[in-house]
Chain A
Amino acid sequence: MANDPIGMTLSVLNRIAGSEAAERLGLRKPIERFAYQATRTGFAAAGAAARQFKAVQKLLQPERLPRPESVPDLFDLTETEQQQMFRETLRSFADEVMRPAAHEADIACAAPEALLASFTELGITQFAVPEALGGAATEQSPVTNVLIAEDLARGDMGLAVAALAPIGVANALVRWGSADQQAKYLPAFAGTNPPLAAIAINEPRALFDPGAMACRASAKGDGFVLNGVKSLVPLGQSADFFLVAAELDTKGPQVFFVRPDLPGVTVTPEPAMGLRAASTCSLHFADTPLQAEDLLGERVGACDFEEMIDLSRILWCALALGTGQAVLDYVIPYCNDRIAFGEPITHRQSVAFMIANLAIELDGMRLLTYRAASRAEQGLPFHREAYLARVFCAEKAMEIGTNGVQLLGGHGFVKEHPVERWYRDLRVIGLAEGGVMA
């Protein structure tokens, strides 16, 4: 098998294309289309800085995705056929493409362009865009989004965030974008060269509370003026545009489209202890002028900001599940093989119980996250569930991260093993806001 990401991706794609599930789910066509276009255009580097977006069609009203048609009145943990197929694909992608690239990407503070292009090949982004706008989505799917994030983060959290940040923007556009905004941006997300974009909410301040942001927009003429700083924004230096949250005068938090080439915008790399492959940056706005149509939804209050925060936190929980699972899957064989005092260290309860507890809390994290996502999907109130999932995952994710290193002892502290990277990545779960969204 080829050793570079593209070769591996093609091998993964090939397997999916040959699977019966692809036939049943009608996914062969999209896969073939991608394969064709990839060959035609080559794996071109995505997005030059000043990429322009133009509506090629006119929407009379926004395309909102409906809720799933019928939800059986049953407690059930069975994935749908489509979800199972996604997972199978993404697990291969995570194992064969992401994991081998993670170490270098962490050092380089960037996701390899080829890897992101390979991710596009998988067609996942298509499922964020409604059919009417050239995508493949027929209904809202926060649960599927969670499963996707979980599987990608099992490969690598930083790379997963780089891959998922644009999908989060597409999700926000589908949920809250105006008809014109959807027509302008969404078809591009369904294409072979989707835009790079990210949601910017976090700010560089201790005890940051998204309910009390310092970043401010003021109405001026027909448009707005933006001032403030955003922190830990994924894809900062390569993004075509951002969705930036700011307090609008006295009207509460609103979300704005902001292009990096606008006056007064400074993008500065902001490497952190983890998530380095996501190329986190800070954004500074100094009297940045925005047009009326730059307001997400083109109406004050069109974007339900609390819901945006909740859907974002749910996705961070999902990322924690994936990386937590990576830790568990790594420490089991390692500790079974590690001999001390004449027998495997897993024959000692002090070691075995740490691993048992890791599994116990990871399963708890998973169910809390799935529940919040499934309530969101069904249109049930999910704020409380998202809040509790965040509280739980923030604490337990870091516990898993630190015990992952501990279980390897000194070997966990050096970069020959990935547990020290997972430790650094898992620290973010307690403080992440925005960046990605389910």
Chain B
Amino acid sequence: MINLELPKKLEALRGMAHQVANEVFRPIARKYDLAEHAVPVELEMLAAVMDGMDQGGGAAAGAGAGAGAAQAKETSEGGVRNGANMATVAGITELCWGDVGLLLSMPRQGLGNAAIAAVATPEQRERFKGCWAAMAITEPGAGSDSAAIRTTATRDGDDYVLNGEKIYVTAGGRCDTVVVWATLDPNQGRAAIKSFVVPKDTPGIEVVRLDHKLGIRASDTATIMLTDCRVPKENLLGTPEIEPDKGFAGVMQTFDNTRPMVAGMAVGVAQAALDRTREILEQVGVKMDYKRPLFSVSAAQAELYRMEADLEAARLLTLRAAWMADNRKPNSKEASISKAKAGRVANAITLRCVELCAAVGYTETELLEKWSRDSKILDIFEGTQQIQQLIIARRLLGKGSDQLR
């Protein structure tokens, strides 16, 4: 039965996440934006609390940044489920209303954790339990085109030897483990790309640089060098064989789950900006009452309505993608739709909010200018706007990557 309201159980979880956002993230958001690369020690306490919640609720859902949200008990009726994906998206959205950068810095909630949760064997899952795993995909010469990865993994006895350079590794400095994408054979394209779990204390892996960024400055972004870095063959995630048909698809499937989560982040930060802008504009007499047609209210008020409508569309598209994942419906197109819509509207909304609030929005006395810097990455990582559109268009048109390039 068609119903687009969150179930009450998730409302409770959302309330909890909102409190964390409001009481823990917001008060320190500016501090770590200014002190880039300083470790947000406050998060250790929070992570411990959330680990406790995890113990009570079973396995992590591969949220990457779920921050305990995924541990809500599943709700289902008549075969329809509102499960871990929806809970995670709902939780992330609220937490990012607090701060995106801090969410990405939550210990033991890295994107690498999501990859491990998604594809690890029970033995691997046990062995890597409790780790904080970052994800290393991008290289200086391979951004969106992840098939162009040049980091190599060479079999040597019972080990793989990794060599290459990885950039833009979120939490790469603070994590204790990195999931590295590398190719078994650069001549065999996508199918040869595999992921490897590399503990940071392995000889040959080195953090060589932390980036200075436009936004999400609370989150560290590292460059990592792999020089004859040797890991046991048991650290390869998935199958070691090169299967031309499905090898890469398996790696890419993680994105069907993580893209709605990034969309949730975008919805959260945009909601923060819109909420604050409403408050600030009310002080100068602009109030939203949803009474008169768009063209009979002030331009500022009309802009608020447009932004809210866009944001609600993004939120519902995100929930739909999560709902499909929970109900085992293939959601690759819908995941990309949610990410494309949420990524671009979040960026547009946060920027417009700064403009509407004028100098109040632009200066560091408010968080509005920070949110408008933070939001930009959400239209870039986990697949840029343009990559999402390629995926959506290929699905709609029935085209392969060789036709619609």
| Chain A residues with a Cβ under 8 A of chain B | 68, 71-80, 83, 143, 207-209, 211, 328, 332, 335-336, 343-344, 346-347, 349, 352-353, 355-357, 359-361, 363-365, 367-368, 370-371, 373-375, 378, 380, 383-385, 387-389, 391-392, 394-395
Contact A374–B306 (Cβ < 8 Å): no
Which residues of chain B are within 8 angstroms of A364 by Cβ–Cβ distance? 310, 313-314, 316-317, 341
Which residues of chain A are within 8 angstroms of B386 by Cβ–Cβ distance? 349, 353
Contact A368–B392 (Cβ < 8 Å): no
Q: Can you show 22 pairs from A to B with CB atoms below 8 A apart?
A: A72-B78, A76-B3, A76-B323, A79-B2, A83-B2, A207-B293, A209-B293, A211-B292, A336-B397, A346-B397, A349-B390, A352-B393, A352-B399, A360-B341, A361-B341, A363-B334, A364-B310, A364-B314, A365-B313, A367-B4, A367-B317, A392-B313
Contact B77–A77 (Cβ < 8 Å): no
Q: Does B5 reach chain A (CB closer than 8 Å)?
A: yes
Q: Does B312 reach chain A (CB closer than 8 Å)?
A: yes
Complex: A370 Cα to B5 Cα, angstroms: 11
Contact B306–A391 (Cβ < 8 Å): yes
Contact A370–B7 (Cβ < 8 Å): no
- For chain B residues 66-88, which have a beta carbon within 8 Å of chain A? 75-78, 80-82, 86
Complex: A395 Cα to B309 Cα, angstroms: 11
Complex: A387 Cα to B291 Cα, angstroms: 8
B side interface size, CB within 8 A: 54
Q: Does B404 reach chain A (CB closer than 8 Å)?
A: yes
Which residues of chain B are within 8 angstroms of A73 by Cβ–Cβ distance? 7-9, 75, 77
Q: Does B296 reach chain A (CB closer than 8 Å)?
A: yes
Contact A346–B404 (Cβ < 8 Å): yes
Which residues of chain B are within 8 angstroms of A371 by Cβ–Cβ distance? 4-5, 312, 316
Which residue of A368, A374, A384, A391 contacts B2 across the interface (Cβ within 8 Å)?
Answer: A374
Complex: A208 Cα to B292 Cα, angstroms: 10
Which residues of chain A are within 8 angstroms of B396 by Cβ–Cβ distance? 328, 332, 355-356, 359
Q: Does B32 reach chain A (CB closer than 8 Å)?
A: no
Contact B305–A388 (Cβ < 8 Å): yes
- Flag B287-301 by CB within 8 Å of A: 1 or 0 each: 000111111100000
Contact A349–B294 (Cβ < 8 Å): no
Q: Does B36 reach chain A (CB closer than 8 Å)?
A: no
- Flag B108-131 by CB within 8 Å of A: 1 or 0 each: 000000000000000000000000
Which residues of chain B are within 8 angstroms of A384 by Cβ–Cβ distance? 290
Which residues of chain A are within 8 angstroms of B319 by Cβ–Cβ distance? 75
Which residues of chain B are within 8 angstroms of A387 by Cβ–Cβ distance? 290, 305
Complex: A361 Cα to B1 Cα, angstroms: 23
Given contacts A75-B5, A368-B316, 12 further A-B pairs with CB under 8 A are A72-B77, A73-B9, A74-B75, A76-B1, A76-B80, A207-B293, A346-B404, A352-B389, A360-B392, A363-B317, A367-B316, A368-B309
Which residue, of A68, A343, A391, has the highest number of chain B Cβ atoms within 10 A? A391
Q: How far is the CB of A392 from chain B (nearest CB, A)?
A: 4
Contact A353–B293 (Cβ < 8 Å): no
Which residues of chain A are within 8 angstroms of B323 by Cβ–Cβ distance? 75-77
Contact B1–A352 (Cβ < 8 Å): no
Q: How far is the CB of B251 from chain A (nearest CB, A)?
A: 23
Q: How far is the CB of A337 from chain B (nearest CB, A)?
A: 11
Which residue of B309, B312, B316, B404 contacts A352 across the interface (Cβ within 8 Å)?
Answer: B404
Which residues of chain B are within 8 angstroms of A75 by Cβ–Cβ distance? 3-7, 82, 86, 319, 323
Contact A383–B77 (Cβ < 8 Å): no
Closest B residue by C-beta to A391: B309
Which residues of chain A are within 8 angstroms of B228 by Cβ–Cβ distance? none
- Flag B81-97 by CB within 8 Å of A: 1 or 0 each: 11000100000000000
Which residues of chain A are within 8 angstroms of B316 by Cβ–Cβ distance? 364, 367-368, 371
Closest B residue by C-beta to A383: B290
Q: Does B328 reach chain A (CB closer than 8 Å)?
A: no
Q: How far is the CB of A75 from chain B (nearest CB, A)?
A: 5
Q: Does B320 reach chain A (CB closer than 8 Å)?
A: yes
Closest B residue by C-beta to A306: B291
Complex: A207 Cα to B295 Cα, angstroms: 7
Complex: A357 Cα to B319 Cα, angstroms: 19
Q: How far is the CB of A438 from chain B (nearest CB, A)?
A: 13
Closest A residue by C-beta to B334: A363
Contact A374–B313 (Cβ < 8 Å): no
Complex: A203 Cα to B359 Cα, angstroms: 42
Complex: A353 Cα to B295 Cα, angstroms: 30
Complex: A403 Cα to B370 Cα, angstroms: 35
Q: How far is the CB of B189 from chain A (nearest CB, A)?
A: 20
Which residues of chain B are within 8 angstroms of A370 by Cβ–Cβ distance? 2, 4
Contact B294–A391 (Cβ < 8 Å): yes
Contact A71–B3 (Cβ < 8 Å): yes
Q: Does B340 reach chain A (CB closer than 8 Å)?
A: yes
Which residue of B3, B296, B308, B393 contacts A209 across the interface (Cβ within 8 Å)?
Answer: B296
Which residues of chain A are within 8 angstroms of B405 by Cβ–Cβ distance? 347, 349
Which residues of chain A are within 8 angstroms of B6 by Cβ–Cβ distance? 75
Complex: A346 Cα to B405 Cα, angstroms: 10
Complex: A356 Cα to B395 Cα, angstroms: 9
Complex: A361 Cα to B314 Cα, angstroms: 10
Which residue of B3, B290, B309, B398 contacts A74 across the interface (Cβ within 8 Å)?
Answer: B3
Contact B290–A353 (Cβ < 8 Å): no
Contact A72–B3 (Cβ < 8 Å): yes
